[in-house]
Amino acid sequence: MPRILRLINRLNVGGPTLNVAMLTKHLSPKYETLVVSGMKDDSEADSEFILHNLGIQAHYLRDMYRNINPFRDYPAYRELRQLIRRFRPDIVHTHAAKAGALGRLAAYHCGVPVIVHTFHGHVFHSYFGAAKTQFYLSVERYLAQRSSRIIAISEGQKRELSEKYRICAPEHIEVVRLGFDLSKFYTDQSAKRTAFRQQYQLDNREVAIGIVGRLVPVKNHTLFLSAIAQLRTQTPFRAFIIGDGELKAQLAQQAEALGIGKKLVFTSWIKDIDRAYAGLDIVALSSLNEGTPVSLIEAQAAARPVVATDVGGVRDIIAAQADFVSSSQALAPFTEHLQRLVDNEALRLQLGQLNRAHIDQQYSYTRLVADMEGLYEKLLNK
């Protein structure tokens, strides 16, 4: 029975956790998987419950955190090597940057036959200054040489990694799109919508515009707030920021300064996120950098139209709504896209149905598992 050690940065709310959960739960029984995780930051929502609900138990590296810290990173690396020697995996599959660095180094030095890394996003722009970014690029190029395969989660990301940032040759990169169990976004939509809108006292005429994600600089919430402030419509609307993080107080101050404090609701994290999407009418994403944003996949599964910035794999996700994508630096088109949807209920419903059909076909967990099993078998047979 082939053994897989699956290493993730941390179990916080987001695509990597869901990806790890789906692969671990639904991969063929012929594989034995050990999930290993680092520790999340205090400001992040815990998503350990996702694994628990699927009967998955994770092993925690108590010294592995997202930020670089040699006094913690080396003990975490040493523990990883010990764990690999005990578990003796045939495959080490790492997810996201810190896990990818420590996990691939440990696997390489322990002689693991197959080493795979998934880029769920990257830190090559909009995170750090030029010198630090160049350091990370050098590290990733070095690690790619010691990986059996690099996995990109969209064709757009593959082009970025191979052509723009030259991490490795394109033939060394496999595209495996994310996959999820989206069934909860299809069911009981009416009841969920009523519950959400009653909780926030939204009347039937109010259009609810939401953005879902961590409140951190790379998510570029300032663009979202500025667009909300510039909407000129007779249609009543309210905006929702769903998530939490270090910028919450600053964003609240910006909203007041823009005069939209009464139009804006900070909900913090919502665990039953399917209820939130059912209650919203439009979902936005204003990020400076993304891999494949899960919020847009979930929103479309719930048959909601989206407005987004043109980053990472966004265009691959919202194929039915290519006209509603704009530059992350361009306020006018982002605002115009929101305005168009706020004012046109029939368009919102039409685009929502197109989005659901696209997502259902492209992002199911059964497709993800089949694609990944095929790659594992190919690499093991080599």
188 and 335 co-located in one domain: yes
143 and 76 co-located in one domain: yes
293 and 347 co-located in one domain: yes
Q: Are 285 and 308 in contact (CB under 8 A)?
A: yes
28 and 160 co-located in one domain: yes
pTM for the complete prediction? 0.76
176 and 189 co-located in one domain: no
Residues with Cβ within 8 Å of 43's Cβ and at least 6 positions away in sequence, in order, are: 244, 245, 246
370 and 353 co-located in one domain: no
Work out how many domains the chain is built from and give that number. Answer: 2
End-to-end CA distance of the chain: 17
344 and 368 co-located in one domain: no
Per-residue pLDDT of the chain (382 residues; tens, 9 = 90+): 899 999 998 887 777 888 899 999 999 999 999 999 999 877 666 778 888 888 999 999 999 988 888 889 999 999 999 999 999 999 999 998 889 999 999 999 999 999 999 998 666 655 667 788 788 889 999 999 999 999 998 888 899 999 988 999 999 999 999 888 899 999 999 999 999 999 999 999 999 999 999 999 999 999 999 999 999 999 999 999 999 999 999 999 999 999 999 999 999 999 899 999 999 999 999 999 887 788 999 999 999 999 999 988 888 888 778 789 999 889 999 999 999 999 999 999 999 999 998 888 788 899 999 999 999 999 999 8
340 and 264 co-located in one domain: yes
Q: Are 305 and 355 in contact (CB under 8 A)?
A: yes
Closest CA to 145 of 166, 127, 175: 166
The H or E element containing residue 32 is strand 32-37
16 and 114 co-located in one domain: yes
Instruction: Quote the domain boundaries for residue 235.
Output: 183-362
138 and 241 co-located in one domain: no
235 and 296 co-located in one domain: yes
Structure tokens at 93: 């599959």
Q: Which residue has the tokens 């064709």?
A: 155
CATH of the domain at 307: 3.40.50.2000
164 and 250 co-located in one domain: no
Residue 222 DSSP label = H
